[in-house]
Structure 1
Amino acid sequence: MQGQPYHVLVIDDDPNVRDILSDLLKRERCVVHTAESGLSGIAAARAELPDLILLDVMMPDLDGFSVCRMLRDDPLTAEVPIIMITALDDRLSRLEGVKAGADEFLSKPVELSELRLRVRTMQRINRYRRLIEERERAAAQERLLTEQARQAAQAVAEAYDQTLIRMVTCTRSAR
């Protein structure tokens, strides 16, 4: 992975899963943050503002669907990509995850090569999203500068016109 560090938050109540995912992500040169519950995961997401969240579905305090909905409802974390990791393999669970706002799903046990590819894909999508946002900011700045230049040119033209009017008025008065 190139450029700036890629921050990933792993939210899972199983310490073994957190360790395995953390090790893999660190090998991908990610900066890994972990949380052991839904509530601590929401707090960590708000504090860290990660580039990606890996979210377990079945947790004791809040299930991953609830956590996902809460993250999506929060303007601070609403745009962070979320990959749900679940032992649930049925269609209804996946539909519930989509409704909650998940971007991707991985089934447990997680195939590490698939996780690696999904993380890289999310990184690429984030990079494109940031590029588009930066281009939009630059275009807005250019529009602002263009408007300011237009207003300045108009002010100069008006000042010039006023100067000419005063010169003509003074010349006529002197005669």
Structure 2
Amino acid sequence: MPNQDKKILVLDDDPDVISLLKLRLDKEGYQVFTGTDGLQGLMKVRGQMPDLIIMDVMMPNLNGREFYKKMKDNEETAMIPIIVMTGHPFLRAEFEKMRCDYFAVKPIHPGEIMPVIRNLLKQKVLIVGEYKDFQHYIQSELSEDYYESKIVEQQGQMFEELAAKRYDVAVVRLAQVEDSAEEFISMVERHSLNKRVLVVIYSDAYVKGTEEGDAKVIIDNAIKWVMAGRVLFFDPRTCGPSLFEFMKDHLGKSGI
């Protein structure tokens, strides 16, 4: 099953809700773990590190509100998507202010949240640059079952997107970078909701740089980006397979 590598944690003190969701998630092929309160949830997260959490708010011992805050305050778990479910609709504003990924009002209908789950589990890829052929090549190679991608042209648009949405990867054309490698990476980390977003830099300068001076500039640029902890792919006409293999290794996905 395509979802068998995805782990989902369901937390609720109502056994009927747990049974209903587990039955449907099992049928979809997910690995499902359950708990009846936030303390059990913390133990399950430490032991299993789920890809997504579905949680009730009103639970004993450690309620959903406190559990949610602990998840988001921990760098290791802050990026796990969380679906909040409750019988109290008035809590929507509070959790949306805390940027929960989805707020569902009980009674829960699995048919309502299954599309939400599938979308939240997709890896988010931002493609940045004006080289449209390569942009669309990348986009066409990313399976829509596993990836959600968006194209923007300028550095400023990239920072706006990274601040508004949790992206896993940003693939950026070097020509669109307006700062030094160190400054650019610092700005990415400052703006991004996902502080661990992977930035892949590519350049088509290699196919244009025929003189020795041009080649030296290209090599110097490559060294700067490698030292900054990122990867530079020179030629977009030949780097495609390497790029996708690198992304698969980093994301741990097989959907390309």
User: What TM-score, normalized to structure 1?
Assistant: 0.70
Deviations 1:41-81 (A, max 9, x none): 02212221111100101112222111101110011110000
Q: Report the counterpart of residue 95 of structure 1 in structure 2.
A: 93
How many Å separate the matches in 2 of 1:144 and 1:4?
A: 44
Larger Rg: 1
- Residues 101 and 70 from structure 1, CA distance in 2 versus in 1: closer, same or farther, beyond 3 angstroms? farther
CA RMSD of aligned residues (A): 2.9
SS in 2 for 1:13: coil
Number of aligned residues: 144
Q: Report the counterpart of residue 198 of structure 2 in structure 1.
A: 136
How many Å separate the matches in 2 of 1:118 and 1:98?
A: 16
Gaps of 5+ in 2: 125-146, 149-166, 172-195, 203-218, 225-256
How many Å separate the matches in 1 of 2:23 and 2:3?
A: 20
Matched-pair contact (CA < 8 Å) for 1:68–1:100: no
Letter in 2 for 1:95: A
1:112 aligns with 2:174: no
SS in 1 for 2:198: helix
Gaps of 5+ in 1: 149-175
Higher helix share: 1
Equivalence map 1:34-113=2 (5 Å): 34-90=34-90, 93-113=91-111
User: What TM-score, normalized to structure 2?
Assistant: 0.50
Matched-pair contact (CA < 8 Å) for 1:25–1:32: yes
How many Å separate the matches in 1 of 2:24 and 2:31?
A: 11
SS in 2 for 1:70: helix
Q: Report the counterpart of residue 223 of structure 2 in structure 1.
A: 147
1:11 aligns with 2:11: yes
How many Å separate the matches in 1 of 2:222 and 2:4?
A: 32
How many Å separate the matches in 1 of 2:77 and 2:3?
A: 22
- Residues 79 and 114 from structure 1, CA distance in 2 versus in 1: closer, same or farther, beyond 3 angstroms? same
Higher strand share: 2
Which structure ranks higher in relative contact order (CA pairs < 8 Å, sequence separation ≥ 6)?
1
